[in-house]
Copies of this chain bind each other. A is one copy, B any other.
């Protein structure tokens, strides 16, 4: 890929071609995963809920005492600029993830070779959404498997912070992928309740009501929040509560939410097909429709069009 066609990345104050966006091997974001990030997406080339994402980003930063030296407003401008510069590189019917990252940069002892490197590494970058690769999940539903590894407990490191420490989730993915490369890993928390996957929240639907794990044990997804609001708008009850495999195997419907997936139906959990006859189930479909309407962009059709 020649540089002219490359995406542009914001790195420590400059806009550089992606291939030049590198961090020193001694950056603490690399050595320790000592960094946080947040990701939103565009719908029809417009950024969605950037403020909500940046406020969550700020909570992750505070939890780890990371100071990027930039305000939310500054991140807003940079994010918009990064998207603006990169939009020409994708088609009109494609969309972007856009991500802010802050690491603790170089420690004093590691600074010698990079004397100018700032105290915090700040990155804003974007990537095209893998629409085609996911289209099938919307048609058939995702197969969910709960691996044996448990989600890291809040007294060790809060799952509410979105950080560069993903090995716990990756260990879950490795277990699941070995059995079924198409399946999605959803870890249980230390008490055996459903928690979350690498970047996705889970909802169950039973007797017309929605249930999703308590925030204390998961990343409080912005899409999870949007889904709750859509559900309430539709007159559905939504409960944040402990849910376990008994709930899962008895749910009528289930789905995941994430920034990029928005809402994607689940076909089965540990091989048990959901009770509803269709994919998506009737309530999931209502929520998808409500979500599409709220966003003002038919991302569901966008995904399905890539089949």
Residues of A within 8 A of B (CB): 1, 6-7, 9, 11, 17-19, 21-27, 29-35, 37, 59, 62-65, 101, 103, 109-110, 112-115, 123, 125, 127, 130, 145-158, 160-161, 163-168, 170-171, 174-175, 177-180, 188, 190-193, 216, 242, 244-246, 249-250, 270-272, 275
Smallest beta-carbon distance A94→chain B, Å: 14
Smallest beta-carbon distance A132→chain B, Å: 12
Which of A33, A115, A191 is packed against the most chain B CB atoms within 10 Å? A33
Smallest beta-carbon distance A178→chain B, Å: 3
Is the Cβ of A167 less than 8 Å from the Cβ of B178? no
Which chain B residues border A149 with CB–CB below 8 Å?
Answer: 155-157, 192, 245
Say which residue of B148, B166, B249 sits within 8 Å of A147 (CB atoms). Answer: B148
Identity of the chain B residue whose Cβ is nearest the Cβ of A101 in the assembled complex: B25
Smallest beta-carbon distance A123→chain B, Å: 6
Q: List 20 A-B contacts (CB under 8 A).
A: A6-B113, A17-B113, A21-B113, A22-B25, A32-B170, A65-B249, A147-B148, A148-B148, A149-B245, A150-B155, A150-B192, A152-B152, A152-B157, A152-B168, A153-B156, A153-B190, A174-B271, A175-B270, A175-B271, A178-B270
Is the Cβ of B1 less than 8 Å from the Cβ of A115? yes
Is the Cβ of B34 less than 8 Å from the Cβ of A170? yes
Smallest beta-carbon distance A109→chain B, Å: 6
Number of this chain's copies in the assembly equals 6
Identity of the chain B residue whose Cβ is nearest the Cβ of A216 in the assembled complex: B242
Given A24-B22, A156-B168, A188-B155: A127 touches B109 (CB 8 Å cut-off): yes
Identity of the chain B residue whose Cβ is nearest the Cβ of A104 in the assembled complex: B170
Which chain B residues border A109 with CB–CB below 8 Å?
Answer: 127, 130
Smallest beta-carbon distance A18→chain B, Å: 4
Nearest first, the 3 A-B pairs at minimum CB distance are: A155-B192, A33-B33, A178-B271
A120 to B192, CA, bound (A): 29
Which chain B residues border A34 with CB–CB below 8 Å?
Answer: 166-167, 170
A270 to B176, CA, bound (A): 8
Is the Cβ of B19 less than 8 Å from the Cβ of A22? no
Is the Cβ of A64 less than 8 Å from the Cβ of B170? yes
Given A30-B29, A127-B110, A166-B33: A64 touches B171 (CB 8 Å cut-off): yes
Which chain B residues border A250 with CB–CB below 8 Å?
Answer: 59, 62-63
Which chain B residues border A148 with CB–CB below 8 Å?
Answer: 146-148, 188, 192, 245, 270
Identity of the chain B residue whose Cβ is nearest the Cβ of A151 in the assembled complex: B156
Identity of the chain B residue whose Cβ is nearest the Cβ of A189 in the assembled complex: B155
Given A127-B110, A188-B148, A192-B153: A21 touches B25 (CB 8 Å cut-off): yes
